[in-house]
Structure 1
Amino acid sequence: MIKLSRDPLSTMSNEEPPQNNNKRRRKEASPSLLESLPDELAISCLARLSRLDLAALSLVSKSCRSFVLSPELCQMRSVMGYAEKYPYICFSGVYPDPTPRWFILRKTRIHLIPSHPSQPPEGSAVVALHCGIYVIGGLVNGEATSGVLLLDCRSHKWHRVTSMRVPRASPAASLVDGKIYVLGGCKDDKNSSSNWGEVFDPKTQTWDALPMPMPMLEEQEGPETRPSMSSIRDSVLVGDKVYLVDSLNRSFFYSPSQCKWGRGVQDSTKYIKRDWCAIDNLLYSCGSQGRIYCCEPEAGGLNAKDWDMVEGYPMMLLQAHLKHSRLIHSGGEMASVSESNKTPLHKSSTNLKDLLPGARAKLTNFGRNILVFWDTLVGPRHSKSLEISCAELSFVRSTGFSYNYYGRIEWSDAILTIDPLLYHPKLLYSVSVDV
């Protein structure tokens, strides 16, 4: 049993709808008012329409469709503030076949959109850029791939993009100055300085190797000065720096403009923090016990002592859901046992797989707020259903209180209901896109 809706926009196609040949000749013979306007003026007018209106307009003619699907229109809508933000969510285990399934969340309702049959089942990195979602690398039959897919969020059509230079699984990927930087996800080869990272230029559709940062070239710095490239656990962009966490729970940052590494310290706090995202130069993260943490990184790096727990009664209610959610982590009991025994995560294979992408939900930026997902068993004992829920969180900096950050729940609702005996859902990726 799966309850969902199909997105009406997913029918928007690049192909012209069938029509009578005589009507087509008449239409081509008489240009529309839109075609008679200068391109810049036409795009400026169209930028003010809603996404649903643009979808309807795309069916009028081939010229209208070319305007609607142009990257210039997407950029103009963002610049003018008319772009609409939509969360895109990728699940595995919601259908009998292993193909990851993509959905769009609109007004607390989830809608199925076309998925790519060749998308790696796990281990990819996702980045939103220019009304599209790039799915980078991943694991296919246990092997890393260099393939890159692009989901056009205006037409919900998939395209193949130029492959990376190096196969990567679970890399860090961030958007900096209009380019996609991909770090790690490959073997730590000390003899090769060209594999650790690469950058994609969407204008030229080319990948270039990143130069080896200076601290990585200085032998006296030692291996602890950079993350383990084969096991990056989390990554997030703060300002112009890409922050990373490796499987040893050590935090680092990389500055593309300076081509330089910096590092914090190994997080010695009791509960593991993961699923980082950034809002207004503040880092947010979800702990293994369902708590939400906040940190303000400094120029010198990120220190464990800088993390503050987000307080408030709504956060206490949310913690109870996240702590027991199988979308957040597979086997919360094992994580608790490991933490109580103070077992290093990199020495526990059962917990290491829990930290890799795809083993839990992602905190997702949604404007200045955050989306978070969890699952709950509901119904009678012998006929339970599994509800996947989503909540939008907002945060306020506190003054005059014993705590620094206060969290509120803007809305919360179940977005998907499935049969837990037939399907075992896993939230692979979630990303917000301006369309």
Structure 2
Amino acid sequence: MVVISELSGGSNGGDPYKNPQEEEEEVNQNENPQEVVEVNLAPVTQELPKGVMEIIVARVPICYYLKLTHVCRAFRQLIASQQLFLTRLRHGVTESVLYALISLPALDTRRWFILHRSNMSSRFIRIYSSFPPTFPGSAAVTIGHKIYVVGGYVGFLQPLTDAIVIDCRFNTWRYLPNMQRARFYAAAGVIDGKIYVIGGRKKQDDDWIEVFDVELEIWETVPSQCPNDASASGIFGTSVVMQGRIFILDHLSCLAYEPRQGLWQSWGLESQLKRLWRPFSCAVRDLLYCLDLTLSLGHPIVVYYPNELVWRPLMGVSTSQLPMHSYDHWSKMVNFGGKLLILGGYHGRVHDVCCVEIALETRQGGQIWGNVESTSLVYTDDLHSACIEICLTVTVKFEQLVDTREQVEMKMNTVI
């Protein structure tokens, strides 16, 4: 409940038809003027209808919700309710939210952040709610409004079987059943609503691939003949999902696994894919985007077309529009609701992270053009260098949060 208080007295209160001199004379005529402590009337409260408050808050981006919970108890209760998401559903509200796991290697700490975006600039806001321990070498994927984080290592590269899920509606989390095999720096991707985790351990045919059924919450190993080109260690640089396949960047080759038929493909050092693919990359609409520091195609960003097995430049973006001083495995390129986000170290301030947002457009002839919409300093630390270990987009589609409107209303009535 939002309460609006109104105090009478002074220039904003009292009898509007009396001047200040008349009010003063009335006070002086009081029998015991020394007992007059306050002439203001009691506060008048006006309640903002709950339905109106739901509509207002429903249209507020999720990145503001953490701050709204500190305003009052009414906001906390509303933001934690299913009713708010039903209201967002009714009004057709959807949004993309960027989550980042930022580490400070000097302090051995890892913290989750949300990218707060406005018309003027963007910046990372730390999530202060109780988030799970996340280990180096973890793999992460998203399904709907959830982030799944698996594996990682502790100590001297001791792999883990841990698996957790984060509900981005409320920034809550819980443990999932452990994987059957410990893994770190594995490849991961979502195909047909299931999570496939590949490698992250010594190569062997019987358990190199593991799949998680998110509905049944069951892990199963997938027997598969490992490709000969794959590194024996199973430690991968990066992976993306395109055209129903999980593409993997390996040390000496590129791999692709198609889960529906269990088929593998591989491309060696001399292939077009291996020629320009680096860890600093992401997939947008089944095309692979990557930074090309050599400018081999005359532009800093290149696009790989898997159907044609060819790289082409992203037109319209120049090196002068990318004010980063470093592009390494700690930097990230992210698909943000169909746009391209680039995050990396900022020129002149080695401890800062800059974000460049690029809108993509396909023009005549299939050529893709980029338009730099914003450049923002999103993270700064005067003492320690920051590394982005995980960066991904959660697309909160509210029709996925509830089965039907009637079912949610039944649940709400049951609770009431």
- TM-score, normalised to structure 1, is 0.66
Distance 1:232 1:386 in 2: 27
CA deviations on 1:34-79 (whole Å, 9 max, x unpaired) are 9xxxxxxxxxx9996545598869955979845259xxx59x9689
Structure 2: which amino acid aligns with 1:261? Answer: W
CA deviations on 1:206-265 (whole Å, 9 max, x unpaired) are 11111315xx4xxxxx713x56561221211112111111011x2221111111112234
Distance 1:385 1:295 in 2: 31
2:127 corresponds to 1:113: yes
Distance 2:214 2:247 in 1: 22
Measured at CA, do residues 199 and 229 of structure 1 come closer, stay the same or move farther in structure 2, by a change above 3 Å?
Answer: farther
Mapping of 1:79-158 within 5 angstroms? Answer: 82-93=93-104, 97-107=107-117, 108-114=122-128, 116=131, 118-120=133-135, 122-141=136-155, 142-158=157-173
Structure 2's unaligned 5+ residue stretches are 1-48, 397-416
Say whether the 8 Å CA contact 2:141–2:148 is kept in structure 1.
yes
Structure 1: which amino acid aligns with 2:314? Answer: V
**C-alpha RMSD over aligned residues:** 3.5
Residue of 206, 212, 222 corresponding to 2:224: 212
Measured at CA, do residues 263 and 78 of structure 1 come closer, stay the same or move farther in structure 2, by a change above 3 Å?
Answer: farther
Mapping of 1:175-324 within 5 angstroms? Answer: 175-189=190-204, 193-213=205-225, 216=226, 223-224=228-229, 226=230, 228=232, 230-248=234-252, 250-267=253-270, 273-289=278-294, 291-298=300-307, 303=309, 306-312=310-316, 314-319=317-322, 321-322=323-324, 324=325
- TM-score, normalised to structure 2, is 0.69
Larger RCO of the pair (alpha carbons < 8 Å, separation 6+) = 1
**2:335 corresponds to which residue?**
365
Measured at CA, do residues 164 and 375 of structure 1 come closer, stay the same or move farther in structure 2, by a change above 3 Å?
Answer: same
Indicate the SS of the match to 2:330: coil
Indicate the SS of the match to 1:155: coil
Say whether the 8 Å CA contact 1:88–1:104 is kept in structure 2.
yes
**1:336 corresponds to which residue?**
none
Say whether the 8 Å CA contact 1:227–1:252 is kept in structure 2.
no
Indicate the SS of the match to 1:317: helix
Distance 1:67 1:106 in 2: 23
Number of residue pairs aligned between Structure 1 and Structure 2: 329
**1:387 corresponds to which residue?**
352
Deviation at 1:395, TM superposition (A): 2.7
Say whether the 8 Å CA contact 1:275–1:362 is kept in structure 2.
yes
Distance 1:146 1:79 in 2: 40
Structure 2: which amino acid aligns with 1:238? Answer: M
Distance 2:350 2:126 in 1: 20
Q: Which has the higher helix share?
A: 1
Say whether the 8 Å CA contact 1:315–1:408 is kept in structure 2.
no
Distance 2:312 2:213 in 1: 37
- Indicate the percent of aligned positions where both proteins have the same amino acid: 26
**2:44 corresponds to which residue?**
none
CA deviations on 1:361-403 (whole Å, 9 max, x unpaired) are 121111111111122254xxxxx67431101112334547xx9
Indicate the SS of the match to 2:318: helix
Structure 1's unaligned 5+ residue stretches are 1-31, 35-44, 217-221, 330-358, 379-383
Measured at CA, do residues 267 and 361 of structure 1 come closer, stay the same or move farther in structure 2, by a change above 3 Å?
Answer: farther
Distance 2:143 2:257 in 1: 20
Say whether the 8 Å CA contact 1:271–1:289 is kept in structure 2.
no
